[in-house]
Structure 1
Amino acid sequence: MKTMRFFTTLLMVILCVGLSSCSKDDDEQGTTVSIVGTWSEKPSTEQFNYTFKADGTGVSWTVYNGTKENEEAFTYTFDSKTMKLTIKGADGKSQSGIIEINDKVLRMPDANGGFMTFYKQ
């Protein structure tokens, strides 16, 4: 009986150690997410677009009924570990939020508590 309890305890310890050694960091080794590039919403009557450059600058614009309008330069910072994006407009106002991104899709929080979805061009 003591032998059975010992082996059961030993098995539980091995399982716990084995499972805890598999961390999220192991899964993320070698993968880097880059926000650099041009991202656009799906075409519609009003389409928002962003271009993020590697030097921390960018430009945003809107396309209304096929016409490019409201082009504005900005600066940004992006922390790929926390996924926090901060955009500072030419007027000095900043907006920050946690984004979701992969090599094709960028989801940014909007003012209504939802997300805006952009696609890499």
Structure 2
Amino acid sequence: MRTIRLFATLLVVALCTGFTSCSDDSEEQEGDQTLTPLVGTWEYTHEWSNTNGGTDVVVYTYQFNADKSYAYTETSDTSWHDYEENGTYNYYQDTKKLTLGDETGSYAVTILEISDNKLIIDDDGDVEEYTRKK
């Protein structure tokens, strides 16, 4: 009888160890998955009245790539200067900070919201709502 109890105890310990030591393969992910929703082309259009009584329209575009490179452009339909920037980015999920940098320096914005079709960032107090284009 004592042998049966010992055997049963060992069997229970072995089963418990087997279940707790195996990891769930679905929890293991390759690469940095926190960047996946960001990858793509995002566009924000800003319109305001200029000093000549007309309207200025500027389109701001970010292209975020999976290799952590990005391109940023500002394109105007009027006198506003066009601008282009290329560099690398990092996203810090715990602080929601997105750092962007090129050869001239770096800066950070805060991601307030991100979904399949919407990206809202706080750029030093200026809140901009981008729409996914690609």
Q: State the match for 1:3 in structure 2.
A: none
CA 1:68–1:37 in 2, change beyond 3 Å: closer, same or farther? Answer: farther
Unaligned segments of structure 2, at least 5 residues: 1-32, 48-56
Question: What per-residue deviation string (whole Å, max 9, x for no partner) do you get for residues 55-99 of structure 1?
Answer: 0101001111089932210110113454221111231x2112320
Q: Is it true that 1:106 corresponds to 2:109 in the alignment?
A: no
Residue 39 of structure 1 aligns with which residue? 42
What amino acid sits opposite 2:64 in the alignment? F
1:77 aligned partner: 90
What is the number of equivalent residue pairs in this alignment? 89
CA distance in 2, matches of 1:89, 1:35: 18
Aligned to 2:71: 59
Q: Which residue number in structure 2 is paired with residue 18 of structure 1? A: none
Label 1:82 to 1:110 Cα distance change in 2 as closer, same or farther (>3 A).
closer
Distance in 2 (alpha carbons) for counterparts of 1:40 and 1:68: 17
| Rg (Cα) greater in structure | 2
Q: Note the residue ranges of structure 1 that are not aligned, 5 or more in a row.
A: 1-30
- 2:102 — aligned with what? 89
Instruction: Note if contact 1:58-1:75 (Cα within 8 Å) is conserved in structure 2.
Output: yes
**TM-score, L = length of structure 2:** 0.56
State the identity %: 28
DSSP-derived class of the 2:38 partner: coil
Alignment check: 8 A CA contact 1:42 1:119 kept: no
Root mean square deviation, CA, Å: 2.6
- TM-score, with normalisation over the residues of structure 1? 0.62
